[in-house]
Amino acid sequence: MRDEPKRKAITEYYDFDPVADAFFFKTGAQEQVIFHGRNYIIKKRMSFSELASLKSQPNFVRAASNLFVNVNKITHIDGNTLHFRDEFAYPRTITVSRRILEQIKRRLPSTPDMALPRQ
């Protein structure tokens, strides 16, 4: 019974779908990608073509030279700060420039409970 949480974490890692699960990801050297999500940070090596395919997904927006946010996972925007959370996750935040914020707002799914920034 003590191994149950560990087994669940391993299963979630193997079932991890970056497009559906990641709040955001950062790219690094040597084809390394770091996915930030619910209660995890997953480091994974990806080929150039895999990374290009991931970056081209419509729900990811470039927020910095090495940072891509999943607009489907943004739960709240306060000023220039993006908030990410789901029912199990600790809150995570990222601050972006106004120019990037405008790009993100154009790509947000329209949900009535999304709190947009005050102008």
Taking only the tens place, the pLDDT of each residue in 48-84 is 999 999 999 999 999 999 999 999 999 999 999 999 9
Domain that holds residue 65: 4-107
pTM: 0.78
User: Is residue 115 situated within a structural domain?
Assistant: no
% of the chain beyond a pLDDT of 90: 55
What confidence tier does 114 reach under pLDDT thresholds 50, 70, 90?
low
Name the residue among 58, 52, 56, 62 with its Cα closest to residue 72: 58
User: Is residue 112 situated within a structural domain?
Assistant: no
User: Is residue 56 situated within a structural domain?
Assistant: yes
Structural domains counted in the chain: 1
- The predicted structure's pLDDT at residue 13: 58
User: Is residue 117 situated within a structural domain?
Assistant: no
